[in-house]
Chain A
Amino acid sequence: MFDNLSDRLGGVFKRIRGKGRLTEADVNEMLAEIRTALLEADVNIGVVRDVVERIRVQAVGSKVSEALDPGQQIIKIVNAELVAMLGGETLKISYASQPPTVVLMAGLQGSGKTTSAAKLASWFKAQGRNPLLVGADLQRPAAVEQLKVLGAQLNVPVFSAPGDPVQTAAAGLAEAKRLGRDVLIVDTAGRLAIDTEMMQQVSDISAAVKPDYTFLVVDAMTGQDAVNVAKAFDETLAISGVILSKLDGDARGGAALSVKEVIGKPIAFAATGEKLDAFEQFHPDRMASRILGMGDMLTLIEQAEKVYEKDEAEKAAAKLMEGEFTLDDFLDQLQQLKKMGNLSSMMGMLPGMPKEMKNAQISDDMVKSTEAIIRSMTPEERRKPEIINGSRRQRIATGSGTQIADVNKLVKQFSEMQKMMKRMGGGGKKGGKGGLNPFGGGGMDLAAALGSRPPSR
């Protein structure tokens, strides 16, 4: 894994802290780190050069604030710059006055066109539309079958005909009109941008169906070549927007920035999971912090909001701060978390996590055995784990089908966590009433308190 930008800049800033103003040498050193961070995120080198120059202009001569961590200051500048670059005009889908609204999918082999086509159909359905999918990928074996299976799962009809993809697409358009479907999504075969014959074919398909929207599907893991691909497709098809696929991976996704910057078309959607509803409109601010390796807090918070009641969360938070968080509460929270999805992936979204922890694997088995241990405890033991003695331990281990050592470990770690949280609670109060606000001053203090006093493990 790569270091995130804040780790990178940390080293530089330790040396320049206390200086009143950034010298040119300081700025250069810092910009070199930013450059590396962006390159490791797969941002195209040409784009990196431009970004770095723009940041230089803003950074030279800026005052080093004593109160603020200069690293944070610079990160703010970089982050704002990236958000500005990624964002701008968002793509608003407007529907054709004469239905159907035609959408054409294009991209390299394996970028995720077929899956994205189905996900897009699902998205349109959720908007109250009636899409028709057209399988015009007659190249890859079983691509049409794949689309048909996905269509059946979504209850969206799929049209295809063997033979010529251009004719198939045209026939699909006629079919949509016949069936009165108001959105037509045409899936096409994957093709290389340098394959002139195939690029001509997709251009013919485009001419045949006259799409209102042409989406280029770009794999979030794409490297430096993303810009060449995007340019070539844009020249052939006049892309209206980009769908960023496989964003649930651990790629930083710098390709998004490169493509946006080079063809100037918005990133419209992002695919974020294997399920067909794991598809959402693109959030430039989240992408910026992801590219910088700063985690994806907003997504995490949004997920949390879906499953958590506000009162409930505040109550639990208060208990934690006061050190009254019991194993029962922990069990409750664990159930809530499980609703939000895979624990390991949530971990990856937390900013400021040391690498080894980001990579921590939490398997379902581990969660299950933890639950089993707590459930094998009496209510009293859950409230006061310190009363757990040898024979209780034995009973709990037997009851939960685990080893005594597992029980010990859980109890020990739980008490450490309690200590840590109490400490954080103390720090948080200094930060004012913002303790529950994720971005409030309190949060910073808490993180700092933890950082300066590592647990004695």
Chain B
Amino acid sequence: MNSSYPLIFLILAAVVVVFGFGVVLQSRRKKPTPVIKAAPKKVVAPEPVVEAAPVVEVVVEKKRSFKNVLAGAVSSVLGRGEINDTSWDDLEEALLRADVGVKVAQALLEPLRARVKAKEISTPAELITALQNDMASRLVGTNRELNFDTSIDGPNIWLMVGVNGAGKTTSLGKISAQQVALGRKVLMAAGDTFRAAAGEQLQTWAERSGAEIIRGAEGSDPSSVIFDAVQAANARKFDLVLADTAGRLQNNTNLMEELRKVRRVAEKGAGTVTETLLVIDATTGQNGLSQARLFADATQVTGVVLTKLDGSSKGGIVFAIETELGIPVKLVGLGETMEDLVAFNPTEFVEALCSTT
């Protein structure tokens, strides 16, 4: 970012507040659009999070709610016998209700309108299939495995980031249980030193999941807690450090700076950050995009964990996050038990979205 802006602003802010009204300052200089770098794909030994078979069932069952909301709209489209204005309204509403956002919904429907006009698509059933295929094609082909690099010296570090209440600590606990089950030695770093009793909460998860934990004093520097954990993990030959961080709102500059530092300092020692997971609550609306953008900018996010998808919300914002920002959804949280964190299955996600039952 060009550093002259903030300075102008510093000055302007001083001025503007004195006056107490807004100042429109046109600017010709364009801010470079943030480029989200794809995660370095240096997976040596790809590790599935859980075995495939049970996952499918769970996802199908839990996604029923997702299905239900869209089912109404989709079957009314199908029931109509022809494609008319109401069909489009129904489809758009279904997508909007799932929180995919206006822009994405339009981007999905516009090409279909053209194809209907060109008589490529003529029946409602074809329309639904085409929408389903389009959506699926935007999601497939992404590597969704958690990146565990066996070729590096020292421990792998997986960092959990996200806004307050997204479910970072709980997701970390569940990931820990799964990694321990894979035979890995896991050390948790209680990097949330801000929220009262966050360390205790993580401690409980460490005990439940069979991992060890390094904690710092409440209010201490999260970077140093995580750094210490990495050093300890290296000395004691742990495979994986799971680092929790305090929830923060992405527009809080100082806290985002702190997080940037956490990411930087985590690699100062013996370990390497091989995964930075942004935890997003499925109830999140359009703000999810802002979260993804700013957290990715601060910490090179490599994947999204979509939590609380067992509720009535649809989590459609991750479709926008993945297709617009290229950050893959890796895990989905479907409940409160340790087994309820599963690999994201894009085909099912889309099928559920466009299914009629």
B partners with A: yes
Interface residue? A455 (CB, 8 A): yes
A356 cross-chain contacts in B, Cβ below 8 A: 5, 27, 30-31
B99 close to A223 (CB less than 8 A): yes
- Of the candidates A140, A193, A297, which one forms a contact with B21 in the assembled complex, judged by CB atoms under 8 Å apart? A297
B20 cross-chain contacts in A, Cβ below 8 A: 297, 300-301, 304, 436, 438
The residue in A228, A297, A410, A414 that gathers the most chain B C-beta atoms within 10 A of its C-beta is: A228
Interface residue? A382 (CB, 8 A): no
Q: Measured between alpha carbons, how far is A359 from B7 in the docked complex, in Å?
A: 13
On chain A, the number of residues with a Cβ less than 8 Å from chain B's Cβ atoms is 108
Q: A451-B26, A454-B27 are in contact. Are A225 and B21 (CB under 8 A)?
A: no
On chain B, the number of residues with a Cβ less than 8 Å from chain A's Cβ atoms is 82
Q: Measured between alpha carbons, how far is A153 from B197 in the docked complex, in Å?
A: 13
B12 cross-chain contacts in A, Cβ below 8 A: 417
What sequence of 0s and 1s flags, for each residue 260-300 of chain B, a beta carbon within 8 Å of any chain A beta carbon? 00000000000000000000010111111011000000000
A417 cross-chain contacts in B, Cβ below 8 A: 8, 11-12, 15
A221 close to B253 (CB less than 8 A): no
Inter-chain contact count A-B, CB under 8 Å? 295
B284 close to A221 (CB less than 8 A): yes
Q: Measured between alpha carbons, how far is A340 from B16 in the docked complex, in Å?
A: 13
A42 close to B286 (CB less than 8 A): yes
A110 cross-chain contacts in B, Cβ below 8 A: 164-167, 281, 307-308
Residues 138-181 of A contacting B (Cβ, < 8 Å) = 139-143, 145-150, 153
- Of the candidates A248, A344, A451, which one forms a contact with B253 in the assembled complex, judged by CB atoms under 8 Å apart? A344
Q: Measured between alpha carbons, how far is A41 from B146 in the docked complex, in Å?
A: 33
B10 close to A343 (CB less than 8 A): yes
Interface residue? B98 (CB, 8 A): yes
B25 close to A454 (CB less than 8 A): yes
Interface residue? B75 (CB, 8 A): no
Q: Shortest distance in angstroms between A342's beta carbon and chain B's nearest beta carbon?
A: 6
Interface residue? B210 (CB, 8 A): no
Q: Shortest distance in angstroms between B24's beta carbon and chain A's nearest beta carbon?
A: 4
What sequence of 0s and 1s flags, for each residue 219-237 of chain A, a beta carbon within 8 Å of any chain B beta carbon? 1011111101100100000
Interface 9-residue window, one of B36-44, B46-54, B120-128, B198-206: B198-206
Interface residue? B118 (CB, 8 A): no
Q: Measured between alpha carbons, how far is A248 from B251 in the docked complex, in Å?
A: 8
Interface 9-residue window, one of A79-87, A94-102, A364-372, A383-391: A364-372
A361 close to B253 (CB less than 8 A): yes
Interface 9-residue window, one of B228-236, B312-320, B338-346: B312-320
Closest chain B residue to A351 by CB distance?
B22
Q: Measured between alpha carbons, how far is A448 from B3 in the docked complex, in Å?
A: 26
Task: Other than A337-B14, A436-B19, give 6 A-B pairs with Cβ distance below 8 A.
Answer: A226-B285, A333-B15, A350-B16, A370-B7, A443-B21, A457-B27
Taking Cβ atoms with an 8 Å cutoff, the residues of B that contact A are 1, 3-31, 65, 93, 96-99, 101-102, 163-167, 170, 194-201, 203-205, 218, 249-254, 257, 281, 283-288, 290-291, 307-308, 310-314, 316-317, 336
